[in-house]
Amino acid sequence: MRARDLGIAIGEDEPGPRNAITDVAGVLVGHSTLVEGTDVRTGVTVIVPPETPLFAGCHRLNGNGELTGLEWVRESGLLTTPIGITNTFSVGVVRDAIAARSADDLWSLPVVGETYDGFLNDIRAQRVTADHVQAAFNAASADVAEGNVGGGTGMICHEFKGGIGTASRVVNSFVVGVLVQANYGRRSRFQVDGVRVGELIGDRVPTPQPREEWGSIIGVVATDAPLLPHQCDRIAQRVGLGVARMGGTAAHTSGDLFFAFSTANRDLTPERGEVALRMLSDGEISPFYDAVIAATEEAILNSMLAAETMSGRDGHTVYALEGALLAEVLRRS
């Protein structure tokens, strides 16, 4: 189930045909999901751009997390590899596997993000391998699975089962797509399109073992609008406003890290000479901010609605947000 199956349409812009980050032409997403025994609940998600390098930017809302390669992105304004997302303790192996795939290019600083799945997953066992990364690439397609898949397998969002979610918006003939790995937030702060549904649901759905705050969230934006690196930074920053509208606070323990890239300008590594570029006027960029905020909200909600109740390490169980219950509290609000 997705938000639009319940009649929930956030924002004014229409989504693309898939309502996914892959509505940006050439972008693919793949997952490798590990569910083994009673204590392995993890995986890898990859976002594959149509080519590299591409102009890119990033933003840190709260830095208790990891998204590798950002110093070179800030320095050069370029994304040079596909993007990986996994659990906190598997960043290294995913980064190394992506670097190995890029060996023929001689130069790469992979971008790999993480959120912590140790409540449901035996994270210290570090079960993710290079073979799982390769499997995610092999599975990459324009059809994006959501919920308990890939890097989102063991994640929790607003004390419901969370994971991978995506959404898109069409703005002035351009496409903006967002993909999140959502693993943050208290139920009491959970909102949908401004309605405090977390308070309305309360304890009708059991909560996981209480803790000060769940963290974190990785958000990736892709667009075919012709943005330069400084504009990609500004687009990435707006993911945080979508998280805030859902009730996220970027708590001290949270890693809220966001990335954006544009597929419009290509052939960015000539050996010499000038490069002809396209750029969206800064005077036209505000509608894209609106689109990122709305698509982020919907992607987070999709991650929760697509997820299923899961039990894992030490008998812990995290319950799904049922669409029928959400629809009921929204009707009554």
Name the active-site residue from 90, 108, 254, 262: 254
Q: Is 256 a catalytic residue?
A: yes
Distance between CA 237 and CA 231 in Å, rounded? 10
Q: Is 216 a catalytic residue?
A: yes
Cβ-based neighbours of 273, under 8 Å, separated by 6 or more: none
Name the active-site residue from 216, 224, 233, 262: 216
The backbone torsions φ and ψ at residue 87, rounded to the nearest 5 degrees and listed phi first, read -90, 165
Cβ-based neighbours of 269, under 8 Å, separated by 6 or more: 53
For residue 168, give both structure tokens. 């898109």
Cβ-based neighbours of 84, under 8 Å, separated by 6 or more: 44, 45, 46, 47, 94, 95, 97, 98, 110, 111, 112, 113, 133, 136, 151
Cβ-based neighbours of 234, under 8 Å, separated by 6 or more: 57, 285, 289
For residue 1, give both structure tokens. 């189930």
Name the active-site residue from 23, 168, 256, 303: 256
Which segments of the chain are extended strands (E)? 28-36, 40-48, 54-63, 78-79, 83-87, 111-115, 156-157, 160-161, 163-171, 174-182, 217-223, 255-262, 310-311, 317-318
DSSP 15: P
Contact 100, 130 (CB under 8 A): yes
Q: What number of other Cβ atoms are within 10 A of residue 36's Cβ?
A: 11
Which sequence positions are flagged as catalytic?
A: 216, 254, 256
